[in-house]
């Protein structure tokens, strides 16, 4: 598979690992946050920690749209799905996310709701065309990568004059969340960021420049293949050693400074910024999500249906906030692996396989006997 296999070469990885090991200053720690779940996944799936020197600490950020989806929004989706005659379509990722009262979309389906898993938002539109007598709602999640397809589909629905299709938008924005993390006090311990891959394909590398400058932290945009991650770590180490805070682009094969302008224009036509949006685990983040514009109000499920917007507090037992900000390691949460497991997630980080806790539980927990969690004092 071109553009995949060559970026999974173990021999090249060992070369990079040796260079990283040579160049790190053993007297210090490099605390690097990979914002995206895609990087978390690559790190876990390929066991990258084994290739990195102890001085490098990778912190899994909040870049998993499933994890950060607030419980109240899923409650609303379930409430919608339970309405007689309504079909709720969503990506497979959202179906198992736990909502209030031990419910989830998949359990709502078992209780009679018409919930359908789609691979593409375009399928939801097709279902609406095939079943004109029924209301079809697409429960939309995702970052900048996933938003343009939703925008295309809303525009298509408008062009077709569909009367029974709408979108429940939960699209969120990456730079706002990165800034939110840096605004929290504990973030001072983060030394650099591995920047998003496919999000950046859409938005380009430019939006990170203000971030790097303002917070004095290097950002290296990296592809999701393991060699991309290794190389971006090396680039970050070099910047940190030199005291630099620049935006570098490792994923030049798919990311330009300006990004996909056509996709941006499409999103801009259909969506507008929300003043604030609640992120599971992080709380309210200003200007961090998108709502559907007035011009497309007819396709906005939030306006079309009287959806009760509930605010559900995050579980008190869990340390998701601190974990998402890089203040704590999953194993330092009391609920980790006991009350909170991938089967029965309590907090955001355990919800999807890309969450920090789920990734550690599923792929990495053999590394840490429960008695010896990683701590800041280890270095």
Partner 1 sequence: MSRREFTQAIDFRHGRVDMTHGGGGRAMAHLIEALFVKHFDNALLREQNDGAAFALPPGTGRMVMATDSHVVSPLFFPGGDIGCLSVHGTVNDVAMAGGQPLYLAAAFIIEEGFPLADLERIVVSMARAAREAGVPIVTGDTKVVEQGKGDGVFITTTGIGVAAPGIELSGDRARPGDAILLSGSLGDHGVAIMSARENLALDSDLVSDTAALHRLTAAMLECAPGLRCLRDPTRGGLASVLNEFADQSECGMHLREEAIPVKPQVAAACEILGLDPLYVANEGKLVAICPPEDAERLLACMRAHPQGRDAAIIGEVTADPNHFVQMSTRFGGVRMVDWLTGEQLPRIC
Partner 2 sequence: MCLAIPARVTALCGDNQARIELGGVQKEVSIALLDQVAVGDYVIVHVGFAIGKLDEAEALRTLALINEMGAPDTAMDLSA
Residues near partner 2 (CB under 8 A) are: 1-4, 6-7, 12-19, 22-23, 25, 36-41, 63-64, 91, 119-123, 142-143, 145-146, 148-149, 152, 196-199, 201-202, 224, 227-228, 230-231, 234, 238, 241-242, 250-255, 260, 262-263, 266, 354
260 phi/psi in degrees, rounded to 5: -90, 95
Contact (CB, 8 A) for 280 and 314: yes
Cβ(336)–Cβ(346) under 8 Å? no
Quick check: 354 binds partner 1 (CB under 8 A)?
A: yes
Residue 306 backbone dihedrals phi, psi, to 5 degrees: -85, 85
Min CB(89)–partner 2 separation in Å: 12
Residue 46 interacting partner from partner 1, partner 2, none (CB closer than 5 to 8 Å by kind)? partner 1
Q: Which of 33, 193, 340 is nearest to 331 (CA)?
A: 340
Burial 175-189 (b: 16+ CB within 10 A, else e): bbbbbbbbebeebee
Helix (H) or strand (E) holding 33: strand 30-36
Provide the CA 271 distance to its chain's centre, in angstroms.
19
- Nearest-approach distance from CB 206 to partner 2, in angstroms: 15
Q: Give which of partner 1, partner 2, none residue 242 binds (C-beta under 5 to 8 Å, depending on kind).
A: partner 2
Residue 31, helix vs strand vs coil: strand
Angle between helices 226-242 and 10-23 (to 10 degrees): 10
Q: How far is the CB of 308 from partner 2 (least distance, A)?
A: 28
Q: Does 262 bind partner 1 (CB under 8 A)?
A: no
The set of residues, in sequence order, having a beta carbon less than 8 Å from that of 19 and lying 6+ positions away, is 234
CB under 8 A: which stretch of 73-81, 90-98, 207-215, 313-321 binds partner 1?
Answer: 90-98
Minimum CB–partner distance for residue 362 and partner 1 (Å) = 5
The binder of 353, among partner 2, partner 1, none, by C-beta within 5 to 8 A per type, is partner 1
In this structure, are residues 128 and 136 in contact, taking their beta carbons and an 8 Å threshold? yes
* Residue 365 interacts with partner 1 (CB under 8 A): yes or no: yes
- Give the nearer residue to partner 2 in terms of CB position, either 16 or 115: 16
Q: Which residues bind partner 1 (CB under 8 A)?
A: 1, 4, 8, 10, 13-14, 17, 37-38, 44-51, 64-66, 91-93, 95-96, 106, 117-119, 123, 141-142, 146, 226, 342-343, 352-354, 361-366
């Amino acid at each position: 598979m071109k553009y995949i296999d060559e970026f999974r070469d173990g021999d090249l990885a060992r070369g990079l690992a040796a260079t990283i090991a040579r160049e790190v200053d053993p007297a210090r720690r490099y605390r690097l946050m990979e914002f995206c779940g895609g990087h978390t996944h690559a790190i876990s799936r390929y066991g990258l920690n084994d290739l990195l020197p102890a001085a490098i600490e990778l912190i899994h950020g909040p870049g998993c749209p499933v994890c950060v989806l607030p419980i109240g929004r899923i409650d609303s989706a379930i409430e919608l799905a339970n309405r007689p005659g309504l079909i709720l379509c969503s990506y497979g990722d959202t179906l198992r996310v736990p909502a209030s009262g031990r419910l989830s979309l998949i359990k709502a389906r078992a209780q009679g709701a018409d919930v359908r898993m789609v691979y593409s938002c375009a399928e939801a539109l097709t279902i609406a065309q095939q079943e004109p007598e029924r209301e079809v709602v697409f429960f939309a999640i995702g970052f900048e990568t996933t938003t343009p397809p939703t925008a295309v589909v809303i525009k298509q629905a408008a062009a077709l004059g569909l009367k029974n299709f709408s979108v429940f938008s939960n699209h969120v924005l990456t730079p706002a969340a990165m800034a939110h993390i840096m605004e929290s006090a504990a973030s001072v311990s983060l030394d650099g960021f591995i920047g998003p891959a496919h999000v950046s394909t859409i938005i380009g590398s430019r939006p990170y420049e203000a971030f790097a400058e303002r917070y004095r932290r290097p950002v290296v945009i990296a592809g999701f293949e393991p060699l991309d991650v290794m190389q971006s770590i090396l680039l970050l180490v070099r910047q940190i050693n030199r005291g630099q805070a620049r935006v570098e682009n490792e994923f030049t094969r798919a990311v330009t400074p300006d990004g996909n302008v056509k996709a941006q224009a499409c999103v801009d036509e259909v969506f507008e910024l929300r003043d604030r949006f609640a992120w599971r685990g992080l709380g309210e983040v200003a200007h961090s999500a998108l709502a559907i514009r007035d011009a497309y109000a007819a396709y906005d499920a939030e306006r079309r249906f009287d959806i009760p917007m509930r605010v559900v507090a995050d579980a008190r037992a869990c340390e998701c906030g601190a974990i998402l900000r890089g203040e704590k390691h999953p194993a330092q949460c009391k609920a980790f692996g006991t009350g909170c497991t991938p089967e029965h997630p309590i907090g955001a980080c355990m919800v999807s396989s890309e969450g920090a806790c789920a990734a550690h539980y599923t792929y990495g927990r053999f590394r840490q006997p429960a008695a010896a969690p990683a701590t800041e004092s280890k270095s």
